[in-house]
């Protein structure tokens, strides 16, 4: 018999750790190859960790709610030597280590021994275990961590950022050990009155339900976005009659030929990608006093999960896809989102987001920006409406298929001229759709 180390696999370039949410197997249980052993959660998605071998689970190295780093051993599976030999190459290649193996081993051991279960739930930001550990050891409060401008990916605080913060703090001879509760007191916030939660009256027949983990994250993201960006909206009505006619004409042949259903979403996403190429000022992020122009156009598509939560999978390099490729990408991400099969990397790297509020019958909406992006477009429901039609022979009233586009943008860096021109360009592309085009 031999022992196989089940490690936390790499889940995307920007994902370095995950939280164990549930063990699907207990010590002593038999495990088949590719069978899920436990469930994990990152700050974006939930997923399962399958076994790479068949055997018996003999040891669990972490418990529920423990934080585990990529590449760290999470369980021991007892199997026969032949099975281990067959899968040894798989083990070494499946877990891609972000740094040299010797450095990882040292880092993992140090983290395992020193990371304390400090409560950082008072922050809406994401902090790595190393940063949390340094903050605990140096007495840096959650409020101080929130104040640090991160230089890492998506504004995350790095080891260098927090060490520089501690160095500057010690140079000015300031020792701050204030708790979160004290930071929120009126006198420490420029004498402004503290925001108090409005008491909720609970009657005998009321049901109290605690938010799940993802809903808490979404709640934090939404509040942080409103507090960060100066939201402004522009609305425009679009005539999509040609698009409706074209889709009705080709959807059956499209599905037969491509094996994919043709919805309106990929057509809309194609127009948005084109408009972003025309207006790169919408394809940016804000980092403090700096504007970061994104090289790639990665479109996020907000999707509702069966449990009512929201997730935003990302279509990478959307401007490089034709309509068939866009349809395949939209359907793939949408189906995997509904089935809970998205990988952490599927939700990373978005530069602009589109949300289809028309799916639920809404005519238009005022969506909240997906940070650190600066814009989000809501697609309203397509409706038959009477409209004035201009012809060389004169104007007349006819029935047209129309919809509203609702564009929310960050007024800190996007003025009305850019925000309005962008959504107008999207509308122009949609209204100029060729009813005779080939897909």
Known catalytic residues are 411, 415
- DSSP conformation class of 185: S
Instruction: Look at residues 101, 40, 45, 97 and name the one whose alpha carbon lies nearest to residue 68.
Output: 40
Q: Are 70 and 9 in contact (CB under 8 A)?
A: yes
Start-to-end Cα distance in the chain: 57
Q: How far apart are CA 319 and CA 434, in angstroms?
A: 19
Alpha-carbon distances of 262 from 222, 248, 258, 316, 338, rounded to whole Å: 31, 10, 9, 20, 18
Q: Is 222 left (phi over 0), alpha (psi -120 to 50) or beta?
A: alpha
Rounded Cα distance between 393 and 399, Å, is: 18
Degrees, nearest 5: CA angle 47-50-51: 160
Q: What residues have CB less than 8 Å from 270, skipping those under 6 apart?
A: 321, 323, 326, 429
* Interacting residues of 34 by C-beta distance below 8 A, sequence separation 6+: 50, 51, 52
Question: What is the residue-wise DSSP string for 103-155?
Answer: HHHHHHHHHHHH------TT-SS---HHHHHHHHHHT--HHHHHHS---SGGG
Q: Are 13 and 345 in contact (CB under 8 A)?
A: yes
Q: How far is CA 24 from the centre of its chain?
A: 25
């Amino acid at each position: 018999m031999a022992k196989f180390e089940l490690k936390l696999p790499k889940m995307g370039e920007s994902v370095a750790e995950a939280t164990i949410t549930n063990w699907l197997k207990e010590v002593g249980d038999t495990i088949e190859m590719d069978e899920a052993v436990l469930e994990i959660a990152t700050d974006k998605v939930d997923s399962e960790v399958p076994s790479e071998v068949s055997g018996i689970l003999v040891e669990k190295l972490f418990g529920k709610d423990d934080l585990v780093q990529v590449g760290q051993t999470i369980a021991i599976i007892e199997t026969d030597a032949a099975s281990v030999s067959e899968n040894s190459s798989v083990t070494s290649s499946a877990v891609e280590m972000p740094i040299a193996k010797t450095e990882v081993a040292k880092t993992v051991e140090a983290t395992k021994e020193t990371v304390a279960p400090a409560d950082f739930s008072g922050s809406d930001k994401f902090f790595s275990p190393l940063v949390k550990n340094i903050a605990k050891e140096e007495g840096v409060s959650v409020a101080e961590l929130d104040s640090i401008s991160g230089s890492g990916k998506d504004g995350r605080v790095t080891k260098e950022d927090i060490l520089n913060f501690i160095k500057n703090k010690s140079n000015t001879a300031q020792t701050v050990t204030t708790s979160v509760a004290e930071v929120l007191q009126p006198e420490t916030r420029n004498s402004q009155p503290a925001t108090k939660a409005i008491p909720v009256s609970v009657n005998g027949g009321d049901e109290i339900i605690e938010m799940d983990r993802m809903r808490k994250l979404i709640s934090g993201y939404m509040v942080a976005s409103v507090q960060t960006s100066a939201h402004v909206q522009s609305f425009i009505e679009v005539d999509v009659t040609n698009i409706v006619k074209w889709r009705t004409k080709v959807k059956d042949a499209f599905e037969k030929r491509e094996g994919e259903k043709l919805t309106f979403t990929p057509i809309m996403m194609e127009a948005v990608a084109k408009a972003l190429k025309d207006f790169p000022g919408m394809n940016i992020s804000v980092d403090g006093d700096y504007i970061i122009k994104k090289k790639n156009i990665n479109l996020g598509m907000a999707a509702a999960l069966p449990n009512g939560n929201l997730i935003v999978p990302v279509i990478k390099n959307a401007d490089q896809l034709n309509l068939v490729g866009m349809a395949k990408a939209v359907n793939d991400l949408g189906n995997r989102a509904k089935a809970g099969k998205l990988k952490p990397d599927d939700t990373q790297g978005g530069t602009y987001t589109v949300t289809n509020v028309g799916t639920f019958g809404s005519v238009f909406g005022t969506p909240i920006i997906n940070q650190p992006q600066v814009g989000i477009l809501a697609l309203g429901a397509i409706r038959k409406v009477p409209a004035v039609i201009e012809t060389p022979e004169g104007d007349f009233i006819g029935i047209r298929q129309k919809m509203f586009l609702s564009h929310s943008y960050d007024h800190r860096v996007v003025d009305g001229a850019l925000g309005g021109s962008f959504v107008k360009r999207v509308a122009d592309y949609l209204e100029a759709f060729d009813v005779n085009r080939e897909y």
